[in-house]
Copies of this chain bind each other. A is one copy, B any other.
């Protein structure tokens, strides 16, 4: 039943620690110890084992190891649709950070039609040590998420905060970011400020809006408008067009994230409005696309690396009360917000 091997290839079939022990003339335990960092084994034996292993092309079976150690070393990365390029970037950085810690990332997708719980169940069969959930919209699936968290495996929400839940969470300080966006726009001399939202059910949308609106109110200003729908380019375009069609002409727009803000910019250009002379635009995330010469979007950068480090740290010590960690966003000045002095000159 074995397929004919290519001439030069070894007789294959999986090579196990027994094969190596035979080759090295030691016990199977010794082979195991040779591959275990802190194990009690003489340097000579280890050397002999390692050589035999190399000769046979032996790689320890991580599956078997997981079974006995009860630690799989696997962390689940659960992603929804990846329309927002912010997430792929986070994803690969997570995978890399996990590897640095000797762990592996199991990639699972989650579409809106199914419950996240299903995906988490599937993941739990692989004895994952933790799960990191990249959100699209999670609201509909909140209840079940809590259970998993209790069930033993810590679940961490990336870039979302679910108030009142016993979930780990790492996010940017979106409220402060919202305030910062308002501040920047106010400094630019804006008085007619609009917020083009994303998915209104998400904490990112809500927190950014709240911070933005609050800061405006402190300045004695009301929001010109705050339509919301989805974190998508098309929506940014549409909302901007609608806004102007309805006679609401902003002199500053805060896009709920960069993808939306880029849609805003393209719509503004189509409407013949000059950025930043006629209208300032600021976004959130700082994705690659925002730096294109065609956009040069001023935005608030999420400190991805720090957030990821923090996420992994939190997962190492998943205290139930290890509430959301909030990281301040960083203002990235580019060309879509009127400069202070320019504003002064014009006001």
Instruction: Give A residues with C-beta under 8 Å from B.
Output: 6, 8-9, 12, 14, 57, 59-64, 66-67, 70, 72, 77, 79, 81-83, 85, 88-89, 91-92, 95-96, 99, 104-109, 111, 121-122, 124-127, 150-152, 233, 237, 262, 265-267, 269-270, 288-289, 292-295, 320
User: Bound state CA distance, A312 and B203, in angstroms?
Assistant: 38
Residues of B contacting A82 with CB < 8 Å? 88-89, 91-92
Q: Give chain B residues whose Cβ lies under 8 Å from the Cβ of A88.
A: 82, 85, 88, 91-92
**Partner pick for A12 among B83, B108, B151, CB 8 A cutoff:** B151
CA distance A294 to B269 in the complex (A): 9
Contacts of A92 in B (CB 8 A): 79, 81-82, 88, 109
Q: How far is the CA of A61 from the CA of B72 in the complex (A)?
A: 11
Residues of B within 8 A of A12 (CB): 151-152
How far, in angstroms, from A89 to B92 measured CA to CA in the complex?
Answer: 12
Residues of B within 8 A of A79 (CB): 92, 95
10 further contact pairs, Cβ within 8 A, besides A6-B150, A61-B125: A59-B124, A62-B126, A63-B66, A67-B67, A92-B109, A104-B107, A233-B288, A233-B292, A267-B293, A269-B294
